[in-house]
């Protein structure tokens, strides 16, 4: 069985609504929906919610692999909006108040066809000044709010975890097409799920 998890109910609804046979409108944060050989889950924003809801999903269901899909923010202009990325590493990125911060780095495998691989940093705090932004640009490609937590829980249980993200924005770049960019990202994820995940289920 495959566990397929999203960060927010809105994102899950938008990505899944165009797929045949799926009624995601009742899927809320913390909910789990069984769909044949796939269980869908919505984690919620932030590492605490992602940890708790991933733990619950893996405890209550016999999941052989966990797949997380969603949007991310590019830390530089190396990736255009709409780029489909496979996470090859994920970092925990909230230890900014330590004198000598150490950012645990977990490797990930991604067996899917994507545009490129990337390093993801998961953060609950907003990246502040230009100095911090420059720091993260040197060691990561994109950031989000949930990937590290769910990957950590999966690793603790010995379950393979794959993360696929689409760039919905670029950090520090104001866009007058935010809603259109997000919709473009969701459409790309919907196409990915239809062709590479749900077609196998």
The confidence score (pLDDT) of residue 44 equals 93
The confidence score (pLDDT) of residue 156 equals 93
The confidence score (pLDDT) of residue 21 equals 57
The confidence score (pLDDT) of residue 161 equals 97
3-state secondary structure the chain: CEEEEECCHHHHHHHHCCCCCCCHHHCCCCCEEEECCEEEEECCCCHHHHHHHHHHHHHHCCCCEEEEEEEEEECCCCCCCCCEEEEEEEEECCCCCCCCCCCCEEECCCCCCCCEEEEEEECCCCCCCHHHHHHHHHHCCEEECCHHHHHHHHHHCCCCEEEEEEEEEECCCCCCCHHHHHHHHHHHHHHHHHHHHCCCC
Distance CA 147, CA 6 (A): 10
Inter-residue contact 33 to 39 (CB < 8 Å) = yes
Q: How many domains does the chain have?
A: 1
Provide the residue range defining the domain that includes 98.
2-197
Residues contacting residue 24 through CB under 8 Å, at least 6 positions apart? 12, 13, 16, 17, 33, 40
The confidence score (pLDDT) of residue 43 equals 94
Binned at pLDDT 50, 70 and 90, residue 96 comes out as: low
Average pLDDT over the chain, rounded to an integer: 86
Inter-residue contact 34 to 3 (CB < 8 Å) = no
Judged against a pLDDT cut of 80, whether residue 95 lies above it is answered with: no
Inter-residue contact 115 to 86 (CB < 8 Å) = no
Tally of CA atoms within 13 A in the half-sphere of 76 that contains its CB: 13
Binned at pLDDT 50, 70 and 90, residue 90 comes out as: very high
| Phi, psi of 6, rounded to the nearest 5 degrees | -120, 165
Inter-residue contact 182 to 168 (CB < 8 Å) = yes
Inter-residue contact 161 to 65 (CB < 8 Å) = yes
pLDDT, one tens digit per residue, over 102-143 is 667 899 998 999 999 999 999 887 777 777 778 878 889 999
Q: Among residues 170, 169, 191, 192, which one has the least CA distance to residue 181?
A: 169
What CATH number is given to the structural domain containing 41? Answer: 3.40.50.1580
pTM: 0.89
pLDDT, one tens digit per residue, over 40-62 is 999 999 999 999 999 999 999 99
């Amino acid at each position: 069985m495959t566990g397929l998890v999203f960060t927010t109910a809105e994102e899950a609804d938008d990505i899944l609504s165009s797929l045949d046979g799926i009624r995601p409108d009742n899927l809320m944060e913390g909910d789990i929906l069984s769909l044949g050989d796939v269980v869908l889950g919505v984690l919620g924003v932030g590492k605490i919610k992602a940890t708790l809801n991933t733990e619950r999903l893996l405890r209550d269901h016999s999941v052989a692999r966990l797949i997380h899909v969603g949007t991310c923010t590019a830390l530089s202009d190396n990736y255009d909006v709409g780029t489909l990325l496979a996470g090859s590493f994920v970092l925990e990125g909230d230890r900014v108040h330590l004198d000598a911060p150490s950012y645990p780095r977990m490797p990930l495998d991604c067996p899917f066809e994507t545009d490129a691989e990337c390093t993801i940093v998961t953060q609950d705090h907003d990246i502040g000044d230009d100095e911090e932004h420059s720091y993260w640009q040197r060691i990561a490609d994109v950031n989000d709010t949930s990937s590290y937590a769910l990957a950590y829980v999966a690793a603790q249980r010995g379950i393979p975890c794959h993360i696929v993200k689409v760039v919905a924005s670029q950090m520090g770049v104001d866009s007058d097409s935010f809603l259109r960019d997000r919709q473009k990202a969701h459409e790309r994820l919907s196409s990915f799920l239809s062709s590479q995940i749900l077609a196998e289920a």
